[in-house]
Amino acid sequence: MRRNRVLARDPPFFGITKASGSTITRLFVDFRAGVLYSRCIRQCLALIGIWSSSMRSNRPEHRGQKSLPQHKRTSVEVDLESLLLLENRCNGCARSERCCCSSYEVCVTSEEVKRIIRFLPEAARFCPHLLIDGEYDNVFEEEEPGLFSIDTNEDGLCLFAYRSRGRIQCSLHTVAMTLGLPLAAVKPKVCLLWPMHFSDGDEVLAAISDAFLFKCNVRKAPGSRELSPAFVDAIDQVYGEGCGSQAERAARNGDRRTLLVIRK
C-alpha cells in the first residue's frame, strides 16, 4: 500500500520523507550533478555490505513477516544441483500467470534504496502511479536499520511493476536496459537473482522452492550439467565478472556445490 509522500515541485531536487518511530530520514538527489546526498535526523542509515536483500512469499499469511538481512559476505556457496533442475527464461508475465512481482515481499538495503531513488523519474514514465500531484510516492518502508521493504498495490503487485502489451514488466529493469546500464546499477539484487534465493537461515544460494509454479521456469532433462544462461549472467551481475563462469565450469565438472569469492 502507498505510504507518505513529500513534495517534489522544485527540480532537480526531490525528497522522500519517512517517519519510523523516532527516526525521520530525508534523501535528496541532485540530478544535474549526479550526486546523491543523504541526511538523517537523529539517526543515520546503516549501510550494509555487498548483498543483504531478502525475499519472502507475498501470500497473505506471510505479508506481515519480515526477513532479517543477510550478513555481509566475502564468499557465497552455490547449490549447483538445485540450479541444474531448471531453465529460466523471463519475458514478463501474462495477466493470468503467477508472477514474481506479486508473489513475494522484497526487501532492499539502504544503498539499493539510494540507487533506485536516482532513477525514480525514469521509472515513473512506465509507472505513472509513482508520481502523484507532483510528488514522488514513498514506496519504501523501513523494517529495521538499513533494510526496507518495497510497497505493493492492493493486488500485491510491486509498485515498480507495469503492464505492457498484456505482460507484467519491471520498470527498473526497463530503465537499466533503456539507459544502457548494468541491471545491478538499478534493479534490486534479490530480484536479479530470482529464482535463485537464500532460504531463511541457510547460507547457500539455491533455486527457490516454488520455482516451478512460474511459467518462466521449465524443468530440464535429467542429467543436464549446463546452467541456465540467465543464472550465469545474474551471478556475474551480483557477485562480479567471472563468478558466473566459475559456477558454470563447476557444474560441468560434476560438482554439486561451489564456493564463489565475491569480486564486487
Q: What is the pLDDT of residue 134?
A: 83
Which grid cell is 2?
502507498
Q: What is the pLDDT of residue 208?
A: 93
* Burial label, 187 (beta-carbon count in 10 A; 0-12, 13-18, 19+): buried
Mean model confidence pLDDT for the chain: 77
Strand 75-79 relative to strand 204-207, pairing? parallel
Q: What is the pLDDT of residues 66-125, one digit of tens each?
A: 333 454 678 899 999 999 999 999 988 887 889 999 999 999 999 999 999 999 999 999
Averaged pLDDT for residues 123-130? 94
Reply yes or no on whether the pLDDT at 64 is more than 80: no
| Cβ-proximal residues to 201 (8 Å cutoff; 6+ apart), any chain | none
Q: What is the pLDDT of residue 202?
A: 65
Reply yes or no on whether the pLDDT at 33 is more than 60: no
Say if CB 171 and CB 181 are below 8 A apart. Answer: no
Q: What is the pLDDT of residue 40?
A: 31
Say if CB 25 and CB 140 are below 8 A apart. Answer: no
With CA atoms as reference, report the closest residue to 139 among 113, 167, 103, 165. 113
Q: What is the pLDDT of residues 206-262, one digit of tens each?
A: 999 999 999 999 999 989 999 999 999 999 999 999 999 999 999 999 999 999 998
Whole-angstrom distance, CA of residue 81 vs CA of residue 12: 49
